[in-house]
């Protein structure tokens, strides 16, 4: 099972980090970054399969492709933003973390504008 | 994904810390700082490649071009 590998990797990294954090905080930040990247790379094949299935389902249901693409993009942006924010919080940089968070939120709203406009137009066309 | 890089980074970190302590004890603060800086640069060069891989993977999966 892959989950055991990931949890054990997490525990090993945790032990190394507690040793390293007191003496060499810069290295500890980089190590936690690397651990995050490796864990993501481990779940990457499964994630890709899930996205593939969702893509097929969306195509079968005859949904407009742009809505599904936008949703996928929003999930990706949210993940990357969260990655950066947690890294900044680990290094006690709350200010930078909140800036990255605001940037992510604004980009997500920007991407979802077409959906909001389409919804509004549908509502307006229903209203007498 | 190879997890050897984690142990490499941990080893470099511990080695740099020990060298740093030795150099500071023998009164060479400037060289100690240089050793720390060199360690960080070496590790960063290893990590940049991985971060690039991660971002490319996320871009291709979520179609963020």
Q: What is the ipTM of this complex?
A: 0.75
Which of A39, A41, A104 should be substituted to probe chain B, the one whose Cβ sees the most B Cβ atoms within 10 Å? A41
Closest-CA distance of chain A to residue B54, Å:
6
Of A34, A40, A44, the CB nearest to B9: A34
How many CB atoms lie under 10 A from the CB of residue A1? 6
Asked whether residue A19 carries a pLDDT value surpassing 90, the answer given is no
d(CA A95, CA A104): 15
- Put simply, the answer to whether B14 touches A42 (Cβ < 8 Å) is no
Burial of A122 (0-12, 13-18, 19+ CB in 10 A): exposed
Asked whether residue A25 carries a pLDDT value surpassing 90, the answer given is no
- Put simply, the answer to whether A73 touches B16 (Cβ < 8 Å) is no
**How do residues B53-64 score in pLDDT, each as one tens digit?**
888 988 888 877
Q: Which residue from A minimizes the CA distance to B39?
A: A27
Q: Are A31 and A13 in contact (CB under 8 A)?
A: yes
d(CA B38, CA B32): 10
Would you place residue B1 in the very low, low, confident or very high pLDDT band (cuts 50, 70, 90)?
Answer: low
Q: Which residues, at least 6 apart from A40, have a Cβ–Cβ distance to it below 8 Å?
A: B54, B57
Asked whether residue A85 carries a pLDDT value surpassing 90, the answer given is yes
Of B1, B3, B43, the CB nearest to A27: B43
Displacement of CA A106 from its chain's centroid (Å): 15
d(CA A100, CA B28): 39
**Of A17, A53, A56, the residue nearest A34 (C-alpha):** A17
The pTM score is 0.79
Q: Which residues, at least 6 apart from A29, have a Cβ–Cβ distance to it below 8 Å?
A: A87, A90, A91
């Amino acid at each position: 099972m892959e989950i055991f590998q990931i949890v054990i990797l997490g525990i090993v990294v945790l032990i190394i980090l507690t040793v390293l954090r007191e003496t060499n905080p810069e290295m500890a930040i980089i190590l936690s970054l690397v651990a995050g990247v490796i864990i993501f790379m481990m779940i990457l094949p499964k994630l890709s399969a899930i996205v593939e299935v969702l893509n097929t389902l969306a195509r079968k249901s005859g949904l407009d492709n742009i809505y599904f693409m936008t949703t996928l993009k929003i999930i990706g942006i949210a993940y990357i933003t969260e990655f950066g924010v947690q890294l900044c919080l680990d290094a006690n940089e709350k200010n930078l973390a909140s800036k990255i968070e605001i940037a992510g939120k604004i980009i997500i709203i920007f991407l979802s504008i077409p959906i909001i406009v389409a919804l509004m137009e549908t509502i307006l066309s229903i209203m007498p | 994904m190879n997890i050897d890089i984690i142990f490499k980074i941990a080893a470099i970190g511990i080695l740099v810390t020990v060298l740093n302590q030795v150099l500071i004890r023998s009164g060479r603060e400037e060289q100690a700082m240089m050793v720390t800086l060199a360690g960080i640069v070496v590790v960063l060069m290893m990590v940049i490649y991985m971060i690039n891989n991660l971002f490319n993977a996320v871009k291709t999966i979520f179609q963020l071009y």
